[in-house]
Amino acid sequence: MATDDATSNVQHTVTPSTAEVSISSVMTEKRKFPPPADFALNAHVSSMAEYEKLYAAAEADPDAYWGGIAEKFHWFKKWDSVLEWNSPYAKWFKGGKTNICYNALDVHVNSWRKNKAAIIWEGEEGDERVLTYGELHRQVSKFANVLKIAGIKPGDRVAIYMGMVPELIIAVLACARVGAVHNVIFAGFSAHAITERVNDSRARMVICADGTRRRGGSINLKNIVDEAIVNTPSIRSVIVLKVTNEEVHMHNGMDHWWHDLMGLAADECEPAELDAEHPLFVLYTSGSTGKPKGILHTTAGYMIHAASSFKYVFDIKDEDIYFCTADVGWITGHTYMAYGPLLCGATMLMYEGAPNYPQWDRFWDIINRHKVTILYTAPTAIRAFIRAGNEWVTKHNLSSLRLLGTVGEPINPEAWMWYHKVVGQGRCPIVDTWWQTETGGIMVSPLPGATPTKPGTATRPLPGIAVDVVHKDGTPCVANEGGYLVIKKPWPSMLRTIYGDNDRYEKTYWSDFNDMYFTGDGARKDEDGYIWIMGRVDDVVNVSGHRLGTSEVESALVSHEAVAEAAVVSRPDELKGNALVAFVTLKDEYVGDMTLREALRNHVAKEIGPIAKPDEIRWAKGLPKTRSGKIMRRLLRELATSNEIKGDVTTLEDFGVLENLRDQEND
Ligand code: WT7
């Protein structure tokens, strides 16, 4: 029973108590949606009382809580201790030996699920493949043997660069089976981005595809890899999967076809018995300096949280068909496509292509044809669907859907209501899931059979997860006071370090608050203890659900011959969440015009990837700086958003600079 008639939206501003950062204003949202009774009846957790009981038990004895979950998995050897915490370094399930691939596949192959669909794949052109647990197990075992024959040993890093085909998940699981550390690089990234990630992780091998399909055309991935690995001394070999039949150059001795190697490999491969803390993967994410951070996750802790959070948040049942629209190149695809669903023996739908190909109803068409029951997507996609028009959605029968989810950025209440009414037809609970690449799995989310939801909040932390909103000095904020979102206790799927850089790990996450993990997000907790995320407090912006370091975009701009200096900020954007605005100072001999503007945008796309393209480029004679030379991005943000400056300018060195920026003509 929804109470959406009793709407009352009051705009107010919440600012953290130290005026050092200001976090965007939020809405007070009064609408509340209790879980539908029939949903609650059959849910894994079916009331708030049950949630509170679980939460309290986990808080009182975290070792017993996490140990209890871990016992449900297959271990070659049981652990000696649940957690050894040497702040900020965690060892979960020390002494235990397991294998996440074994738990994701062999466990099911040894059960009635052997012939159950694991992956239902749909290509952009409408082609379909179904891989049962048995078949996936066979393919993964074969490819694990390929890795072994190629000399890959436990602990070796393997880069993976391919589009959304089942072989991407096969490659990931095969790495896990032999103990190799996978480093998936999103197929939208440029050659430069691959080089940087391969070198930082000193990867030995690249697994790629010849190409990937995109909106009826294709992108040649192998050419990009060729360009990238000219400068990567650690790479010994490249395995190439045929997807698009692009013309590619196969280099003798270095490059091998996936199908040739698979043809030679046996289809049984004993899983490596790995330490609980054996590294599982490195996934790069933007930092506030130009260099991306290699987030390191390890085996057992990640495994148990990926599986249990998937089970409870998505209330997964064997009958479900779960559709996650993320790419495996991001953490969402790692945890809630490659691992979580398979560890739970679920059936997932994997779609290769764009949401608007051949037209804007592709997702809804897929949901209708495959009778999808759970949809997990991003607010940025939802906003794009709203813009495209309701008729694309309503012309399809979506009655199979029973649960909806979102991830990646705050969802604005109006988009939430649209998702609820138009997609969910008022019937489906929505789980707004807050988490990060670093947290490995969902931290804050409704449990769909228990938690009453409110549009725009990820609600309460999962059992075992100790999040809080605090002041700069670490003391808790009162209800509705804006502050910093921290995590007060270690959790199993936490990042273990930044690959090869413990100093940066300590500095980035553990130096702002005493013995608490700082998420980088601003937030407030309302009177029900619900967490409202107010965005990032540093210079990292979230564009279309992807976190981008503005300084990375700046370095890309400055690497263009015409650019002297650049500052990139974000302004709110209806469609993408945030839009990137670049203030660019040109070298004297260059003139700022439309042609150069396009050239710079394309340059950024080539250096980082199309998602980092600035939406707007403004020419600046100079940038506002402090006396110590720090660019005052806060002022630029104000300019980009409202074209005027209201904030404090006392530390500004040269006032003339601001006048120029305000008065300039933008062609
Ligand atoms: C940042 C993490 C987790 C996978 C996708 C992004 C923002 C994420 C939510 C949400 C409000 C959210 C936060 C967070 N974020 N989910 N449900 N509500 N904000 O992973 O690239 O590591 O980014 O995304 O700012 O810190 P990521």
pLDDT tens-place string over residues 5-35: 333 332 333 333 333 333 333 345 689 999 9
CA of 582 to the centre of ligand 1 (A): 23
pLDDT winner (highest mean) among 377-386, 467-476, 552-561:
467-476
- Residue (of 300, 42, 331) closest to 186 by Cα position: 331
Q: Which residues contact 74 (CB under 8 A, 6 or more apart)?
A: 98, 99, 102, 103, 106, 107
Percentage of the chain with pLDDT > 70?
91
Q: Which atom of ligand 1 is nearest to the CA of 437?
A: 22
pLDDT winner (highest mean) among 104-113, 553-562, 600-609:
104-113
DSSP secondary structure letters along 586-610: EPTT----HHHHHHHHHHHHHHT-G
User: For a substitution probing ligand 1, which of 454, 486, 498, 533 has the most ligand atoms within 8 Å of its CB?
Assistant: 533
Exposed e or buried b per residue across 298-330, where buried means at least 16 C-beta atoms within 10 angstroms of its C-beta: bbbbbbbbbbbbbbbbbbbbeebbbbbbbbbbb
Taking the CB of residue 227, how many other CB atoms lie within 10 A of it?
14
Say yes or no to pLDDT of 573 above 50.
yes
Which residue owns the Cα nearest ligand 1 atom 23? Answer: 436
CA-CA distance, 105 to 166, in Å (whole number)? 15
CA dist list (Å): 625 to 23, 631, 644: 21, 4, 17
Contact 132, 117 (CB under 8 A): yes
CA of 645 to the centre of ligand 1 (A): 29
- Residue (of 407, 373, 448) closest to 33 by Cα position: 448
pLDDT given at position 650: 57
Strand, coil or helix: 550: helix
Is the omega angle on the peptide bond into residue 36 within 30 degrees of 0, that is, cis? no
Contact 658, 652 (CB under 8 A): yes
CA of 135 to the centre of ligand 1 (A): 34
User: For a substitution probing ligand 1, which of 21, 409, 412, 541 has the most ligand atoms within 8 Å of its CB?
Assistant: 409
Contact 570, 564 (CB under 8 A): no
287 — pLDDT class (breaks 50, 70, 90):
low
Say yes or no to pLDDT of 472 above 60.
yes
pLDDT given at position 393: 98
Which residue owns the Cα nearest ligand 1 atom 7? Answer: 409
| Residue 524 C-beta-side C-alpha neighbours within 13 Å | 23
Taking the CB of residue 456, how many other CB atoms lie within 10 A of it?
22
CA of 239 to the centre of ligand 1 (A): 32
Which residue owns the Cα nearest ligand 1 atom 1? Answer: 436
- Residue (of 167, 163, 155, 224) closest to 194 by Cα position: 224
User: For a substitution probing ligand 1, which of 23, 542, 611 has the most ligand atoms within 8 Å of its CB?
Assistant: 542
Which residue owns the Cα nearest ligand 1 atom 27? Answer: 436
CA of 547 to the centre of ligand 1 (A): 8
CA of 545 to the centre of ligand 1 (A): 7
As a whole number, the mean pLDDT across the chain is 90
pLDDT given at position 536: 73
Taking the CB of residue 277, how many other CB atoms lie within 10 A of it?
19
Poorest-pLDDT segment among 91-95, 316-320, 502-506, 657-661: 657-661
More confidently predicted of 15 and 523: 523
Q: How many residues would you count in the chain?
A: 667
pLDDT given at position 388: 87
Residue 18, both tokens? 């130290």
Say yes or no to pLDDT of 266 above 80.
yes
CA of 409 to the centre of ligand 1 (A): 5
DSSP-derived secondary structure letter, 114: G
Q: What are phi and psi of 104, to 5 degrees?
A: -85, -25
Say yes or no to pLDDT of 654 above 80.
no
630 — pLDDT class (breaks 50, 70, 90):
low
Say yes or no to pLDDT of 323 above 80.
yes
CA dist list (Å): 376 to 430, 522, 600: 9, 24, 34
Q: Which atom of ligand 1 is nearest to the CA of 546?
A: 21
Is the omega angle on the peptide bond into residue 413 within 30 degrees of 0, that is, cis? no
pLDDT given at position 651: 57
More confidently predicted of 543 and 604: 604
Pocket of ligand 1 (CB under 6 A): 285, 331-332, 407-410, 432-437, 458, 519-521, 533, 536, 542, 547
CA-CA distance, 9 to 30, in Å (whole number)? 7
Mean pLDDT calculated for residue range 634-661: 74
CA-CA distance, 152 to 61, in Å (whole number)? 40
Mean pLDDT calculated for residue range 359-385: 95
pLDDT given at position 10: 29
CA of 442 to the centre of ligand 1 (A): 10
Bridge partner list, 485? 469
Amino acid at 306: A
User: For a substitution probing ligand 1, which of 434, 484, 508, 531 has the most ligand atoms within 8 Å of its CB?
Assistant: 434
CA-CA distance, 216 to 202, in Å (whole number)? 35
Domains in the chain, start-ordered, CATH in brackets?
37-99+280-498+514-536 (3.40.50.12780), 100-272 (3.40.50.12780), 540-663 (3.30.300.30)
DSSP-derived secondary structure letter, 210: S
CA-CA distance, 31 to 379, in Å (whole number)? 19
